[in-house]
Chains A and B, each alone.
Chain A
């Protein structure tokens, strides 16, 4: 039986193993794990060269899960993602055999999703939602757990197909990665420029354990008044006409409650705290709010607006 209070130690061990390869980025890894525990997906926005691929690859090694990467380009087809049926000949007989695409993995890195055409994006997003792929008349279930980390580059937007808001809403979290601080960058240079065998990471959690943790996440209780506070926070994004053009949908309320539960579980707690809601509000809400001209004129970001809303509604 899993000891809830000791789970913090388990996740600390995961971070420790990842830290052998990746320096810093603790918050980003934490949020990726939250999205995984909620059996959902995450959108990662970062500049190139911040170690996104290495992070997710290391995470899959620590969790003993199958990892796959798709580099989106404008000529990428849906079948390049989902797979296709190919003709095979055995003993003079020909038949169709389904060739699985890279989507058939536990952790999928969909790099620069905004470079693919809307049709290809839709194929991936459909698979994310349904956790299955339909080719012709056959439906192929994706392995569990299934997690997609889609990335976007905030610069070089020319020739891209930005995800519409209706599609970005399907991602539980939007994680932002910033440049590392000076000391971390010195360590990165030190680690990766020396001729050294890369450190091996230990496997901490397996697939079966992780599936059990996903079930436990939904069991974490949240006090009624806190759940109502979450709804008030999300509703406030719809009523705040001072800085917000369009607010978050009820899907954001579900997402924030689930993410708070996952965050509580990762910290070895058996209940959701105000701190969990405060922490998770930013990644859950920042891609679901569209700022108006007034906010943009003031140079405000969605995080600034979310901070004001939290100050009003949360009493720690």
Chain B
């Protein structure tokens, strides 16, 4: 019985290793597909793909372990048909017939190949799918293909939602610029003005750097971060609109 129990433990250990390998392979495939799709929509592709992959791994591993049985092994080894799982169910029982069954199963197990634990067809298909998915990911990444910039789209939508809250306190132009007041330049005068400005009344003592009236220098613009560029354009757009001299 002790020998059979050791053999049974070995079978379970091998099954678990094979199971882990298959689940890891499928997780890799899911990760690659998620990465590709998220990249096409430019939406936190690396981080989200890893999260999706990890969740898939956990769920599928739990499901596979719960459904693990010896029936698959019996199917591939006819001499073990119905014997193996019966012997496994009675691994703790000691009687004459069960002992004979254990001996019979042990001698049949000697002819079992490790490949019988693997579904070769399934492994081949998954590997092929991984190769194809990897190729697709490389193609998308190298050509920087984007169907729709979901990240930018969602960003603009989310600032617009706060519009009503800030109405009256901050000019609309600043709200739509999607920048924090604190991120603007450190000039206190401009900050003060931004909080108190009301376009219909009051003369403004506006500090404007001289070079704003100059033609915009393409190379200079490129040195500025994107956020600041958007803000500056909107800021002066508003000034033009309200007719400040």
Contact = CB atoms under 8 A, between A and B. Distances in A.
A and B associate: yes
Nearest to A224: B89
7 A-B pairs with the lowest CB-CB distances in the bound complex, closest first: A270-B101, A219-B97, A271-B86, A223-B86, A221-B90, A219-B95, A224-B89
A216 B104 CA distance: 17
A4 B82 contact: no
28 contacts: A2-B96, A216-B96, A219-B95, A219-B96, A219-B98, A221-B86, A221-B87, A221-B89, A221-B93, A221-B97, A221-B98, A222-B86, A223-B82, A223-B85, A223-B89, A224-B89, A225-B85, A226-B82, A226-B86, A265-B97, A270-B83, A270-B97, A270-B98, A271-B83, A271-B86, A272-B82, A272-B86, A273-B82
A137 B100 CA distance: 46
A4 B96 CA distance: 9
Contacts of A271: 82-83, 86-87, 101
- How many chain B residues sit at the interface, stated as a range, is 10 to 19
A145 B95 CA distance: 22
A4 B89 contact: no
A270 B95 contact: no
B100 A4 contact: yes
Interface of B: 82-83, 85-87, 89-90, 93, 95-98, 100-101, 104
Contact of B101 (A216, A221, A226): A221
A303 B36 CA distance: 59
Contacts of A225: 85
Dominant secondary structure at the B interface: helix
Interface in A262-306: 265, 270-274
A220 interface: yes
Contact of A220 (B85, B87, B97): B97
Contacts of A272: 82, 86
A270 B104 contact: yes
Contact of A274 (B82, B93, B101): B82
Contacts of A265: 97
